Amino acid sequence: MNCSTRLVAALFLLAGAAQAAIPSPAKLLPKDTLFVLSVPDWAKASDSMSGSSGGRLWSDPSMKAFRDNFEKKFSEKVVGTLEKDLGIKMSDYTGLARGQMTLAIVQDGWKGATDTEPGLLMVLDARDKSDVLKERLGEVRRKLADAKKPVKTEKIRDVEFSSVTIDLPGDEEAADEKKDGNGAADANADKETLIFGQVDTALLVSTSAKTLEKVMAGIGGGTSETLADEPAFQASEAAWFRGASAFGWVHFVPLYRVLSQLAAGNPGADAMGVDPKAALKAVGLEGLKTVSMAWTPGSDGDAGVLSMSIPEGQRAGLFKMLAIPAKEAAPLPFIPADAVKFQRWRLDGQKMWATLEETLAAVSPQLNGFVQLMVAQAGKDKDPSFDLKKNVVGNLGDDIISYGKASTGTSIEDLTNPPGVMLVGSPSPDNLTGGIKMAAGALGGGGGNDDSKDREFNGKKIRSMRTPAAPGGKGGRMEMASASGYAVFSGTPALIEEVIRSTESPAKALKDDANLARAAEKVGGYGTGIFGYENQRETMRPQWEFLRAGGLGGLMGGGEAAEWADMFDFKLLPEYGRVAKHFGIAVFSGATDAQGMHFRFFGTEPR
């Protein structure tokens, strides 16, 4: 378990798990806050979470073995170590959370230097249990004194705070890295000073007295500037946070400045001439202002949003590439009703390619020149007239669709690779599939002029090409065909045939599902340019059985990942049929406007 994980857990232990009738985060946190995660009303949010489908799943009697193992291992690996170090018991503190719970990172003058750090802050309000909180904090101080751990007392704005240095032991490998030149352990390695105290009904815990000074000024109604004075936060709050049960916010502008300064301190370009600072700007990070997240439960399901503030005139690189116009993204009539997954992105392939070239040129002219040379020469050895840009890029449209079916197999390979198909809009789909096959052969992906596996179905030519092997796996074959203005791709021959049949004579369609239509309204409808759907009751089945079969364990490796794998012993999960009732359908949409890019999510209450 790394130090950051233990430090956050330590803050929760000292806080006891409380929350807020003190000022809201906007009026409490200093203006130079970089990150905030807040639950405005912990008691209300807890009730909502317990009553949600996720809460009911966690408390389901069939989950007892998995739940008990997690709680036991979490107590041993995270809480137990800290309880021993602090001389307290977590069980004495649960239930104190009543109002606001806020975790924040404050810049505090940090500019990336290794000898300075931003301030970590936790605010928890016990409301009507403030007297109990006061008693618990007194016990903490006494137990620390009994354990001969030095506790210092200091006043911040006339309020008495205590500070203690605690050990946050990391793994052995990390400890070895922190030894001094003589091989001795660094006395300050994996240690952190926590400053804690009670203000009115709230507990404040921080790693920085400077941060607490600013927060105390906010509580006292002083002249110190808070997030309420930060226009970027005001905009996010007005758009997304009001009425939310939980929200998060990242102020990326000062983070970009730090990253840019660090990159400028390491200007050495690599062999391809990639300048780190120029690369940060080219991929579009300079234009990213804030990232906002919010969660709001409701009687019919849970709603969420992820918003990235990127003004239209400042979009570059990835953000310019993925800026989707408001176009129809509903399931087309030939998407079958038994599709368990569906996504449609109105992404203009030719514009995306042009932006990619523009980005590469800005990152490194040498790298861009190398890529352009490869593209220009691709396939020339087999067909001198072949032009990858003309035959492939020139035949891309502005529509990308994918859908998947439920897995019918029981092997790990079947469970992790359910059947699916992708459709790419094209002005000439047959030329596009032919160009992709030629390009794949030229670039080492198989295909080329090998027509031995090509076939016909319903008068349509279905091309086939070899796909490269994944690490530790084996390659396969991809089939391609044209149908109703789309190039169709799938590793499952039956799905290629299904699309060809459905475009000519549609069967029962996904678009006619009334539940889907109602859910789509919750995320702004189908006309935003991006829409996705998932029947989680069906899609979770193979994922659940994959976890129960121990499939994740082999992917985790050792070290901290293995510790987490031990904590989440998925082999203890019940058979999926016992918990399937807790899963419903989920939808999402994406939209781009003058202010940025916004993704909305909604999960229905299972029926």
Cβ 502 vs Cβ 337: under 8 Å: no
Give Cα 73 distance to the centre of its chain.
25
341: β partners: 404, 534
Amino acid at 451: D
**349/155 Cα distance (integer angstroms):** 61
Q: What is the pLDDT of residue 171?
A: 45
CA angle 221, 223, 226 (to 5 degrees): 80
- Average pLDDT score over residue span 68-90: 71
Does 76 have pLDDT greater than 90? no
162-194 pLDDT, tens per residue? 988 876 545 444 444 444 555 544 544 567 888
From residue 254, how far is each of 113, 263, 338, 442 by CA, in Å? 14, 14, 47, 45
**56/47 Cα distance (integer angstroms):** 11
262 or 415, which is more confident: 262
Which residues of 118-158 form beta strands (DSSP E)?
A: 119-125, 151-156
- Average pLDDT score over residue span 519-525: 96
Please state the φ and ψ torsions of residue 136, each to the nearest 5 degrees. -65, -40
20 or 564, which is more confident: 564
**For all residues of the chain together, what is the average pLDDT?**
84
Element containing residue 377 per DSSP (H, E):
helix 365-377
Q: Tokens 């990390």 identify what position? A: 174
CA angle 357, 363, 367 (to 5 degrees): 70
Q: What is the pLDDT of residue 527?
A: 96
543-597 pLDDT, tens per residue? 898 888 876 665 555 555 566 667 888 999 999 999 999 999 999 999 999 999 9
Cβ 259 vs Cβ 58: under 8 Å: no
Cβ 337 vs Cβ 509: under 8 Å: yes
Which residues of 340-485 form beta strands (DSSP E)?
A: 341-345, 400-404, 420-425, 455-457, 460-467, 476-483
